[in-house]
Amino acid sequence: MYTTILTGLNNNIFTITINRPDKLNALNKAVFEDLNKVLDEVYTNDDILSAVITGAGTKAFVAGADITEFKGLTVEEGKALAKAGQDTFFRIENCPKPIIAAVNGFALGGGCELAMSCHFRVASNNAKFGQPEVNLGLIPGYGGTQRLVQLIGKGRAIELLISGNMIDAATALQYGLVNQVFEAAQLLPETYRLLANINTKAPLAIGACISAVNAAFDEARDGYAVEIDAFGFCFATDDMQEGTQAFMEKRKPLFSGK
Ligand code: COA
Condensed to tens digits (0 to 9), the pLDDT of residues 155-206 reads 999 999 999 999 999 999 999 999 999 999 999 999 999 999 999 999 999 9
In this predicted model, what pLDDT tens digit does every residue of 13-30 receive, in sequence order?
A: 999 999 999 999 999 999
Q: Would you mind telling me the total number of residues written for the chain in this entry?
A: 258
Per-residue pLDDT at 50: 98
Per-residue pLDDT at 204: 98
Q: What pTM value is reported for the model?
A: 0.98
Residues 133/140, Cβ–Cβ less than 8 Å? yes
Number of other CB atoms surrounding residue 80 within 10 Å: 12
- Ligand 1 binding pocket (C-beta < 6 A) is 23-24, 26, 63-68, 106, 108-110, 132-133
Give residue 212's identity as a one-letter amino acid code.
Answer: A
- For the chain, what is the mean pLDDT? 98
Q: Which of 93, 69, 63 is nearest to 81 (CA)?
A: 69
The active-site residue, picked from 76, 133, 227, 249, is: 133
Residues 145/139, Cβ–Cβ less than 8 Å? yes
The answer to whether 76 is a known catalytic residue is no
Taking the alpha carbons of 124, 36, 200, 173 in that order, is the dihedral positive or negative? Answer: positive
The answer to whether 159 is a known catalytic residue is no
Distance 66 CA to ligand 1 centre (A): 9
Nearest atom in ligand 1 to 140's CA: 48
Please report how many Cα atoms fall inside a 13 Å half-sphere around the Cα of residue 240, on the Cβ side. Answer: 12
Which strands make up the sheet holding 120-124, listed edge to edge? 5-10, 13-18, 50-55, 99-103, 120-124, 180-182
Q: End-to-end CA distance of the chain, in Å? A: 30
Q: How far apart are CA 172 and CA 121, in angstroms?
A: 10
Q: How far apart are CA 46 and CA 12, in angstroms?
A: 9
Q: 3-state secondary structure string, 13-51?
A: EEEEEECCHHHCCCECHHHHHHHHHHHHHHHHCCCCCEE
Per-residue pLDDT at 16: 98
Which strands make up the sheet holding 128-130, listed edge to edge? 60-62, 106-108, 128-130, 166-168
